[in-house]
Amino acid sequence: MDYDSLLELVSTRRSIRKFKTDPIPDEYVDKIIEVARWAPSGANSQPWEFIVIKKQELREKILELIKEQDVLSHKMEVVRPPEMRFHWAPSGYVRAPVFIILCGDVRTKDAYPVYTTLTRGNSHFTSGLASAFLYMSMATATLGLAGQWVSVIASPYVQTMAKDILGVPAELEMYDMLALGYPDTQPRPRQVRPREDMVHYDGYDMTRYRSDEQINQAIASLRHSRVSGES
Determine the Cα–Cα distance for residues 102 and 151; give it in Å rounded to an integer.
Answer: 10
Q: Check pLDDT > 60 for residue 208.
A: yes
Task: Give the E-state strand segments of the chain in sequence order.
Answer: 48-53, 98-105, 146-150, 172-181
Exposure string for 118-155, b = 16+ CB within 10 A, e = fewer: eeebeebbbebbbbbbebbbbbbbebebbbbebebbbb
pTM of the model: 0.91
Q: Tell me, what's the pLDDT at 226?
A: 60
**Model confidence band, residue 74 (pLDDT cutoffs 50, 70, 90):** confident
Q: Tell me, what's the pLDDT at 230?
A: 35
For the stretch 77-135, pLDDT in tens is: 889 888 888 877 656 788 999 999 999 999 999 999 999 999 999 999 999 999 999 99
Domains of the chain: 12-187 (3.40.109.10), 193-231 (no CATH)
Q: Tell me, what's the pLDDT at 87?
A: 75
Determine the Cα–Cα distance for residues 95 and 119; give it in Å rounded to an integer.
Answer: 42
Question: How many CA atoms lie less than 13 Å away from 66 in the CB half-sphere?
Answer: 20
For the stretch 134-164, pLDDT in tens is: 999 999 999 999 999 999 999 999 999 999 9
Q: Check pLDDT > 70 for residue 227.
A: no
Q: Tell me, what's the pLDDT at 59?
A: 96
CB 16 within 8 A of CB 147: yes
> In this prediction, what percent of the chain has a pLDDT beyond 70?
95
